Structure 1
């Protein structure tokens, strides 16, 4: 990984897959962060969060506009790797024991149903919701005990950023093995129920997925995008200066 905008990122998808698969095969552990505008902004304001994301096994760039901008600054061909696409990639491998945690019982029930159409074995894998509480208030020992009993290869975490990244960092020392992924709204997208949907393909092709999300959940996402936009000139200046 290389550091861009003060966060370590890996843009080579084959390397991302290799790192994750090797960790699983060697029965080791770690966590994966999908870096988009919100958690990139938080990582540049909160030292504790910056330490969390830079302590990840690997980070992918979950923002096509971020990848485009970095490509222009460094005159390199960068492509984003959206968290939902990474989720789909490993689901379609149909070979891993998986554990799904976070979100709501309603979303998880529909998610199990939809993912079982991809891999019938998923029907018998654990889907666990979590109570709504501060990230520091979870009973990590109890959560880890349940995960360790099942001994999954992959743990999918849907709590939203930056909460899920702190959650994975706190849980990591307590689990015996497995790669955790912070996938946020990917559970909602794949469950195909509720108000949160993924942007249509034509908007994704035009790098407008952020705009779709802004209209979809304006109270949540508009302030996040505005915080990133305010920070962007300083980030670009620092990146150009250190090029």
Structure 2
């Protein structure tokens, strides 16, 4: 695990999956954040949220730009591992019992129908719509009872950032087992009902944000504005951190 831009990232995919498997052998629960540009921006503007993002096992890097920034500043090469990729990797692994929580029933129904093509065991798993409310208003003990009764190993959460990360941190104390992973738009991507991922050529060219702007202009333009507003400061701080570590031998 490495810390860049104040976020604790794990870039090694083998270590990510091994850490999940190991955590499931231990008592209690934990969570993984899928850190895209929105989370990077929000976490570095709000210390309490940054503590929540770093309070789980680690974050995976959902941003295609963060590896570019790291390469420019440090000369190190890392790869993006986005939420939709880890989501499908775990679905296709056939290793775990899972529960899917969040979003609307229509999206959940579409998601269940499509995931059964990848993993037939999904038909026996629960897809639970969570009511639309403030993050402080959820019945966390009641939600934990649903998960505990189900016996799920992986708890997928899709409420959108920053809500889903706060939700996981609040639910964690009530769970005795399981790894929660917040995957944001992945439910929509694989439900066949709403927003789809960008074509591969756009992803390779770091242009997925353009695709999402066309699909959800008001929402995505607002997010991009916030990210661009904080980016110069974050790059400068990381460059200064590199210089300090070089001078002190760290």
Aligned to 1:167: 167
Corresponding position of 2:215: 216
The residue correspondences of 1:7-18 to structure 2 (distance < 5 A) are: 7-18=7-18
**SS of equivalent to 1:161:** coil
Cα deviation for residue 154 of structure 1 reads: 0.2
| Aligned positions, number | 242
User: How far apart are residue 28 of structure 1 and its match?
Assistant: 4.3
Q: Runs of 4+ in structure 1 displaced over 6 angstroms?
A: none
Contact 1:19/1:58 (CA < 8 Å) preserved in 2?
Answer: no
Alignment map for 1:18-57 (pairs within 5 Å): 18-26=18-26, 28-57=28-57
Within-5 A mapping of 1:104-143: 104-143=104-143
Task: Quote the offset at 1:26 in angstroms.
Answer: 3.5
| Structure 1 residue runs without a partner (length 5+) | none
Residue 3 of structure 2: aligned partner: 3
Give the Cα separation in 1 of the matches to 2:86 and 2:222.
26
Distance in 1 between residues matched to 2:214 and 2:66, nearest whole Å: 20
**Shift of residue 161, structure 1, vs aligned partner:** 0.6
1:116-168 Cα distance to aligned partner (Å, 9 max, x none): 11111111101000111111111111101111111211000000111000000
* CA distance in structure 2 between the aligned counterparts of 1:125 and 1:27, rounded to whole angstroms: 22
Q: Once the 2 structures are TM-superposed, how far is the Cα of residue 16 of structure 1 from its aligned partner?
A: 1.1
1:207 positional shift:
1.1
Q: Give the aligned CA root-mean-square deviation in angstroms.
A: 1.0
Task: Report matched runs for 1:64-213 at 5 Å.
Answer: 64-194=64-194, 196-213=195-212
Which shifted more, 20-29 or 50-59?
A: 20-29
Distance in 1 separating the partners of 2:66 and 2:223: 15
Q: Which moved more, 1:24-33 or 1:228-237?
A: 24-33
* Contact persistence 2:28–2:175 (CA under 8 A): no
Q: Provide TM-score, normalisation by structure 1.
A: 0.97
Q: Matches of 1:149 and 1:116 in 2, distance apart?
A: 22
Distance 1:27 1:104 in 2: 31
What is the alpha-carbon distance in structure 2 between the residues aligned to residue 65 and residue 239 of structure 1? 14
Q: Distance in 1 between matches of 2:152 and 2:230?
A: 38
TM-score by length of 2: 0.94
CA shift at 1:25, angstroms?
A: 3.4
